Structure 1
């Protein structure tokens, strides 16, 4: 078990091995960054279940380490978090700090996980369809050089899905399960975007 300072932010999901740039401007989160820099530089990204003050949290997040830091003259920060490990919240702690803290267990990652060639090909095919439908320009040669974990987690982190879908991807139990869910979500959001200009939501 470990104590983690958390940054609840709807739609912001971090994965181990990936980076997340953040602009920190609220006083409590400026205090959070200052505290983290003075200690272990760790902050846990986790989504609230609804965008409200003190809202319940989803159970799974990802702890990251602050790498690049730009401290602005007015007290704001620009930081880059590098993902270290997913975690599961066990309980929220009663604290006097302006920012929230939890007791959590770190979740192991299978760093050697790979997709079967047919799974990789199926994913890339669906990703091309989805990107074209969304009007995104993608360097597919660069995509082809990514390892399976970086590819699936990277797309999961940046995909334009709703918060519930992004949370489901983060909680997926392993690379293959996350890849399968990602394909399903691209198909779902791709179809509904075609049918409804306002898009769709899983919430």
Structure 2
């Protein structure tokens, strides 16, 4: 099936290969994958042969390996930007998050997880320059505090790259949706907080979620 094909009578939803993971993928974020399960090898073959995207959803309960998991009904499409098939049949993929989607119906996991998905655009909304600078400044303060306490969880090079990106985001005035997702990717958060950022209806609500996450991080840091 080509990337633009829709399922007849599905209300615009499309059948997509799906890759449930332990953490959600955000639009714009980079996702490296080492594919070894036979079902996901077949997924990689389908997507690379047909230049197709695949969907990524968070596993809410269960394991990434073997199936039998409980999956979120909101995810993100991923486009493969680099790939390599190894001699033993494993794949190394580098994908990037694209549009957000809702899962309308899960299909049989044969030969890999599949679902009918419908694109879910952000609600329209604007973020002022002051709002952007304020949340960026707060995130930078939290990261600096975490670094002083040895709780940043990133190498010096990774931390420097994030700080540089945050400095850039403080002065960016591009569309609020991609901006808010770029910021979300830099927030220190676990899978469920990251999922809350993904599922926020629009950029204004996403900033509110980020503020709540930073409240929690600051509380944890204060107790160290």
Unaligned runs of 5+ in 2: 1-12, 148-158
* 1:54 match: 68
Equivalent residue for 1:143, pick from 161, 169, 178 = 169
* 1:92 match: 106
Equivalent residue for 2:45, pick from 22, 26, 34 = 34
State the SS of the aligned residue for 1:59. Answer: strand
Please list the CA deviations of residues 101-126 of structure 1 after superposition, one character each: whole Å capped at 9, or x if unmatched: 1112111246x854112211221121
Equivalent residue for 1:183, pick from 196, 211, 221 = 211
- The alignment yields a C-alpha RMSD, in angstroms, of 2.2
* 1:107 match: 120
Q: Is the 8 A contact 2:34 2:92 kept in 1?
A: yes
* Larger CA Rg, structure 1 vs 2: 2
- What is the rounded CA distance, in whole Å, between the counterparts of 1:31 and 1:40 in structure 2? 14
* 1:201 match: none
Equivalent residue for 1:153, pick from 172, 181, 185 = 181
Counterpart check, 1:165 vs 2:193 = yes
State the SS of the aligned residue for 1:119. Answer: helix
Equivalent residue for 1:20, pick from 31, 41, 50 = 31
- What is the rounded CA distance, in whole Å, between the counterparts of 1:120 and 1:142 in structure 2? 11
* 1:7 match: 19
Query: 1:179: Cα distance to partner?
Result: 1.4
Query: 1:181: Cα distance to partner?
Result: 1.0
Report the count of equivalent residues. 193
Counterpart check, 1:131 vs 2:143 = yes
Structure 2 length as normaliser, TM-score?
Answer: 0.76
Unaligned runs of 5+ in 1: 197-203
Q: Is the 8 A contact 1:20 1:82 kept in 2?
A: yes
In structure 2, do the counterparts of structure 1 residues 29 and 115 end up closer, same or farther at CA, with 3 Å as the change threshold?
same
